[in-house]
């Protein structure tokens, strides 16, 4: 059974850093596209970042230069390193598995989310 479990959220001051983790079961991150999506309180979904199986990474403009997506194949874990955090980064962060093929790309499994609160 495929499951995704996020961790690492919490309260951090503006300008601070936090690293989120996403540990899947039922598949390996090394050969899978993976993504982060966030949702601010009471707001819609916002795509944050994706890492392709070949290692290419892409980011939303709102986090480019501050956030870094990575994976540790030996630990089968996906990460999101978040630096220079701002109040507007406050959100629940979800990791998701991305399925990719001819004429399709979709997020089929999602974690339960981890809350990041940026506040002094």
Partner 1 sequence: DIQMTQSPSSLSASVGDRVTITCRASQTIGSYLNWYQQRPGKAPKLLIYAASSLQSGVPSRFSGSGSGSDFTLTISSLQPEDFATYYCQQTYFTPLAFGQGTKVEIK
Q: Which residues make up the interface to partner 1 (CB under 8 A)?
A: 35, 37, 44-47, 50, 58-61, 94, 99, 103-108, 110-113
Cα(3)–Cα(1) distance, rounded to whole angstroms? Answer: 6
Minimum CB separation of residue 30 from partner 1 in Å reads 21
* Closer to partner 1 by Cβ: residue 5 or 15: 5
Specify the residue, 79 or 107, whose C-beta has the smaller distance to partner 1: 107
Rounded CA separation 13/44 (Å) = 24
Instruction: Give the shortest CB-77-to-partner 1 separation in angstroms.
Output: 18
CA distances from 118 to 44, 90, 101 (A): 18, 5, 37
Is 90 in contact with 118 (CB distance < 8 Å)?
yes
CB contact at 8 A, 66 and 84: yes
Choice between 54 and 74, CB closer to partner 1: 54
Query: Shortest distance, CB of residue 74 to partner 1, whole angstroms?
Result: 27
For the bound state, the minimum distance from the C-beta of residue 13 to partner 1, rounded and expressed in Å, comes to 26
Residue placing its CB nearer to partner 1 in the complex, 72 or 100: 100
Q: Which of 36, 24, 115, 94 is nearest to 70 (CA)?
A: 36
**Which is nearest to 111 in space by CA: 13, 34, 15?**
34
């Amino acid at each position: 059974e495929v499951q995704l479990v996020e961790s690492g959220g919490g309260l951090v001051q503006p300008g601070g850093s936090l690293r989120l983790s996403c540990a899947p079961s039922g598949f390996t991150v090394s050969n899978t596209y993976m993504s982060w999506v966030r949702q601010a309180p009471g707001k819609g979904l916002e795509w944050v970042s994706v890492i392709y199986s070949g290692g290419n990474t892409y980011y939303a403009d709102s986090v480019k230069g501050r956030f870094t997506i990575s994976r540790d194949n030996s630990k089968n874990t996906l990460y999101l390193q978040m630096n220079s955090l701002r109040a507007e980064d406050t959100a629940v962060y979800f990791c998701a598995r991305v399925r990719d093929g001819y004429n399709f790309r979709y997020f089929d499994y999602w974690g339960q989310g981890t809350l990041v609160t940026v506040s002094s």
